[in-house]
Amino acid sequence: MTPPRYAAILFDLLTALLDSWTLWDAVAGSAEDGRRWRAAYLRRTYQAGAYRPYDTLVAEAARETGQPPDLAKRLAARYGELRPWPEAPQVLRRLWAAGLPLAIVTNCSNDLAAKAVACTGAAFDVVVTAERAGFYKPDPRPYRLALDELGVAASHALFVAGSAYDLVGTHKLGLASFWHDRIGMAPPPGTPPPSARHASLAPLVDFVVGDPV
């Protein structure tokens, strides 16, 4: 068996592993409103730096896009409806079978992260939230906390991103990134390129334990 290319794999939770887009669209009432709300939320969280209550940022993003701020409470109430991308369970099983420690680094609260992790149907060695780290990604501290708890250097790990914003933080740490770009997101200008970019998680296993695809 080919030795894994990395000593540990870290994942974004709400975009890389879970289809949160569908839930946001459903709560907003349409795909158009859901995408505008989600885009505003992503900008706010990735510009926030030090932790502010997650539901506050989600409510502010709704207000910014002309939608009722109580969408944040409605979204939180439906977190149990989150589902993994179809290929995610098998990918996680194969990485576990390869003996790789797995971690989550997510921009949400502790309570919502626990509900979302349960929706993956998988177990993780480490779960770091923005609330627990005290900072939102792409500040390096959430990623660094996960690496420290895994006991793995950034140069020996891989982060699986769900959006281009993560690439800024991982680049600062020298942490390689696999971008699971499910929706074809345009990266902000100046975003560092990932080590790999795919519209599915399926190529991840070969990228980690075989030849890059």
- Residue 99: exposed, middle, or buried by beta-carbon count in 10 A (0-12, 13-18, 19+)? exposed
pLDDT confidence of residue 41: 92
Closest-CA residue to 135 (of 163, 160, 107): 107
Instruction: Look at residue 157 and tell me if it is in a domain.
Output: yes
Q: Are residues 125 and 183 in the same domain?
A: yes
pTM of the model: 0.94
Nearest to 95 by CA among 125, 54, 131: 125
**Domain residue limits at 90:** 8-19+81-209
Same structural domain, 189 and 127: yes
41: phi then psi, degrees, rounded to nearest 5: -60, -45
Can you tell me the mean pLDDT for 148-158? 97
Instruction: Supply the mean pLDDT for the chain.
Output: 94
pLDDT mean over 81-90: 97
Bigger pLDDT: 83 vs 45: 83
Check pLDDT > 80 for residue 212. Answer: no
Does 89 share its domain with 58? no
To the nearest whole percent, how much of the chain has pLDDT over 70?
A: 98
Both 115 and 187 in a single domain? yes
- Confidence check: pLDDT of 213 > 60: no
Query: Is 187 within 8 Å of 137 (Cβ atoms)?
Result: no
Domain harbouring 85, CATH code = 3.40.50.1000
Where does the pLDDT of residue 1 fall: very low under 50, low under 70, confident under 90, or very high at 90 and above?
low
Averaged over 188-211, what is the pLDDT?
Answer: 91
3 within some domain: no
56 and 98 share a domain?
A: no
Strands 8-11 and 196-198: unpaired
* Three-class SS state of 33: helix
Residue 110 has pLDDT above 60, yes or no: yes
Domain end residue (candidates: 80, 103, 118): 80
| Total number of domains in the chain | 2
- What is the torsional sign of CA 184, 63, 106, 134? positive
Q: pLDDT tens digits, residue range 20-52?
A: 999 999 999 999 999 999 999 988 988 898 999
Percentage of the chain beyond pLDDT 90 is 87
- Tell me, yes or no, whether 85 and 190 share the same domain: yes
Same domain membership, residue 172 and residue 96: yes
